[in-house]
Amino acid sequence: MYRHLVVLLILAASACSEESTPRPNIVIILADDQGWGDVSYNGNSNIATPNIDRIAAQGAKLNHFYVSPVCSPTRAELLTGRYHPRSGVTGTSAGAERMDLDESTLAEVFRPLSW
């Protein structure tokens, strides 16, 4: 049985000096099989998640984030920013986990930026 994949995507603008080019500071935290109640800031007393708790306390908390119930489609959504069937990914095996070759991904979008 597959569990939900929880993806926490945090985008923060980095501070830039007068001498440097402004660059985004992007942190992606991807946790497979983690549910809403699997962090201590949501009341779980069996699991200690101090770093995630600190991120939540400082203002980056996603309370309503919906994903596919299996991992490959959710990962395709993260990579493309599109609903997973549009990328060709509909499952986790037998070829259903393969993304269409003409899809644009985060890596391709960020590649031309001069960081």
Predicted confidence (pLDDT) per residue in 82-113, tens digit: 999 999 999 999 999 999 999 999 888 888 87
Answer for the pair 6, 31: CB distance below 8 angstroms, yes or no: yes
Q: How many domains does the chain have?
A: 1
Q: Does 43 map to a domain?
A: yes
Q: Does 62 map to a domain?
A: yes
Residue 102 lies in domain: 6-110
Q: Does 1 map to a domain?
A: no
Q: Does 91 map to a domain?
A: yes
Whether the per-residue pLDDT at 77 is higher than 60: the answer is yes
Q: Does 78 map to a domain?
A: yes
**pTM score, two decimals?**
0.63
Q: Does 115 map to a domain?
A: no
Q: What is the per-residue pLDDT across 7-56, written as a single tens digit (0 to 9) for each?
A: 333 333 333 444 566 777 777 877 777 788 889 999 999 999 999 899 88
